[in-house]
Amino acid sequence: MTALDLAFIGTGNAFAPGGLCWNGFVAGGRFLFEAPPQALQSLNRMGIDPNGLDAVILSHHHGDHFLGLPFILLHWKYFGRARPAVIVGPPGTRELATAIGRSVYPGLFDIAYDLRWVELADGQSVEVEGLRLTARRVEHDTRLSLNLGYVGELGGRTFAYTGDTGFCDAIVAMARDVEVLVAECSSVSDRVPIHLNLADDIPRLRDAMQPRARLVLTHLGAGVSADHLRDTVIARDLERYRL
């Protein structure tokens, strides 16, 4: 079985608790999920060439998931990117990224490579360089255009990413059919409707998964354990996992 490689450039929530980097990970060395503010720094620290990324996949437009994108685009512009790149996200991603990028770095989109934007609604799919993605609407901030989780298939392996969300039918459905699930978990026991917690929500999500599927949790700080859950790991900043 081919291993699914996940490299976490950060695992924290919007408040960077305890100094955690904001959440994001690279799947298979080529697909960046989320563009947190420190994304470029963390990629460099982990020895991941930003020009080697085939796509950036965004779950929603909150700043801790989005505001690193101008720096990635800046690297691509000035450090020799020549091959095409794809940015995937919910509706309005291109408009927002273009407005921010042109404001903070004029000329950012005067580029020599092909940049493709793919905006997905619930249930829509796209294939990018061997990665097949299907978007699922999750329950987070209703003031945003859309909040997405993703089901993916890469190298014969199936995985899903919840994005930021409260407990909902969509993430249960995602969990049932994949070998690896990356799930946000923003608290141990606090009940916040737009986020998951470790005490109540994650055990229900774990129970929905196949017995040998692997669960990877983000947003949890140091000192928290998930040893009571089978085949579950709490991701840590700048660590790699082969699943």
Q: What own/partner pairs with CB < 8 Å and gap ≥ 24 does 185-191 have?
A: 185/217, 185/218, 185/219, 185/220, 186/13, 186/219, 186/220, 188/220, 188/224
Under 8 Å CB-to-CB from 98, ≥6 apart: which residues? Answer: 109
What pLDDT score was predicted for residue 17?
92
Model confidence, pTM: 0.98
Angle between helices 93-104 and 69-78 (to 10 degrees): 70
Q: Furthest-apart CA pair in the chain: how many Å?
A: 51
d(CA 238, CA 42): 7
Phi/psi at 97 (5° precision): -65, -40
Contact between 94 and 68 under an 8 Å Cβ cutoff? The reply is no
Amino acid at 195: H
- How many Cα atoms sit within 13 Å of 86 on the Cβ side? 19
Residues found in the chain: 243
At 175, is the secondary structure helix, strand, or coil? Answer: helix
| pLDDT of 129 | 96
Segment-wise mean pLDDT, segments of 10 residues, the chain, 243 residues = 94 95 98 98 98 98 98 98 98 98 98 98 98 98 98 98 98 97 96 96 97 96 90 97 97
Between strands 5-10 and 24-27, the pairing is antiparallel
